Amino acid sequence: MRSRYLSQRCLSIVAVALAIASFQVTMVEASDRIDVIVPLGEGGALDHFARTAQRFLNNGTDLEVSVENFSPKNGQDGYREFLDRPADGSTVLAWFEPAVAAYGPGASLDDLTIINVQEIEPPILAVRSDLGWRNLSEMVAALRRTPNRYRFGYGSATAGGSILTTALLNNLGLKIVAAGYRSGGKARKAVAKGDVDFTAGSLKALQKMGDRIAPLAVFSHRRLRAWPEVPTIMEALGPEANQAVHGAVYRFFAVHRAFSESEPEAFAKLVEAFRHMTEEDPAFLRNASERGVGARWFGPVESTSLLQRSHQHFSQLIARQRTHY
């Protein structure tokens, strides 16, 4: 009788041990694999941002990193997909402000814990070279002469360049035709082919287009060191400088807030992996420089503060504008 009892007890212990082992394996697998969700299509600045990190985040660690793109509905599908994933640290969001502000009630920074704002970049307004516009004043004059003739190509209505261009056009009372594409890269290709007349994008992406485009202004208070001949939006507008708008895209990595709060040690390890890549990995730093991808380290606290200020700025800007899209 005692032997049967001991056998049953041993079987129970083994079953419990197997269950615990299975749970531990699941947790190890979850922590060793990271899916980076990019809520926009391939080829845009956000995609390049995420994929550059993907290549180097596993250096010196056992992390297996993949990137998933979701392009419909200006990123909302991808954002919802991230929120619906388990809050176990296995899913990281590569996202940007002002997208969160543009979603309004459908999104909140409170859903997220920020790992790092790695890139801050003011968009540049650029036009097809064959249009012959030498400066922004000539573009504005052409748009005024023929309303609804010229086409603005954009990859996402939530992108900083789209929002700032919309605000500028509204301030100046200009009417255009807007054409949306699945990514910023596809919008730039449309400019190159002549399907649209102007766009707004990142410095490196526009520079790659060479003489097919002409940069007219950067949505910044200061000129860019890497493209100093491009005037600021205020300089470019001249006598209409009071209608200028400014802003930058803040690209960042984040996790579910529930994960960082329930697993602070695991979150700290994830933050350290990003910090090491961004500050100490020479291969990443070299590649980021070559590709024109940001490699700044602010950390969770300062990054959150930066995003909150940007969120407030763009929320106010969006609230004052009627959309062209």
Residue 199 belongs to domain with CATH number: 3.40.190.10
Please tell me the distance from the alpha carbon of residue 226 to that of residue 209, in angstroms, as a whole number.
Answer: 15
| Torsion angle of C-alpha atoms 155, 160, 163, 164, degrees rounded to 10 | -120
| Torsion angle of C-alpha atoms 133, 138, 143, 145, degrees rounded to 10 | -120
In a domain, 278, yes or no: yes
Domain final position from 227, 247, 267: 247
Tens-place pLDDT, residues 303-324: 999 999 999 999 988 887 754 4
Specify the range with the lowest mean pLDDT, choosing from 84-88, 111-115, 200-204, 214-218. 200-204
Which alpha helices (DSSP H) does 75-176 contain, by range?
76-84, 99-103, 136-145, 160-172
Domain that holds residue 148: 124-247
Please tell me the distance from the alpha carbon of residue 14 to that of residue 218, in angstroms, as a whole number.
Answer: 66
The pLDDT value recorded for residue 277 is 94
Share of the chain above pLDDT 90, in %: 64
Domain final position from 228, 247, 266: 247
Tens-place pLDDT, residues 113-136: 999 999 999 999 999 999 999 999
Q: Judge if 107 and 253 occupy the same domain.
A: yes
Q: Is the model's pLDDT at 60 over the cut of 80?
A: no
Share of the chain above pLDDT 70, in %: 86
| Torsion angle of C-alpha atoms 203, 191, 37, 160, degrees rounded to 10 | 60
In a domain, 11, yes or no: no
Q: What is the value of pTM for the model shown?
A: 0.82
Q: Judge if 92 and 198 occupy the same domain.
A: no
In a domain, 62, yes or no: yes
Average pLDDT over every residue of 225-250: 94
Tens-place pLDDT, residues 141-176: 999 999 999 999 998 788 899 999 999 999 999 999
- Which one-letter DSSP state was computed for residue 66? E
Mean pLDDT of the chain: 86
Specify the range with the lowest mean pLDDT, choosing from 1-5, 76-80, 119-123, 195-199. 1-5
Q: Is the model's pLDDT at 40 over the cut of 90?
A: no
Q: Judge if 193 and 46 occupy the same domain.
A: no
Average pLDDT over every residue of 240-251: 93
Structure tokens at 8: 């049953």
- The backbone torsions φ and ψ at residue 199, rounded to the nearest 5 degrees and listed phi first, read -155, 180
Structure tokens at 183: 């990514």
Please tell me the distance from the alpha carbon of residue 90 to that of residue 112, in angstroms, as a whole number.
Answer: 14
Total domains in the chain come to 2
C-alpha angle with apex 308: 284 to 184, nearest 5 degrees? Answer: 55
Specify the range with the lowest mean pLDDT, choosing from 101-105, 126-130, 188-192, 295-299. 101-105
Domain final position from 247, 280, 311: 247
Please tell me the distance from the alpha carbon of residue 173 to that of residue 308, in angstroms, as a whole number.
Answer: 30
Instruction: Name the β-bridge partners of 154.
Output: 180
Q: Judge if 55 and 148 occupy the same domain.
A: no
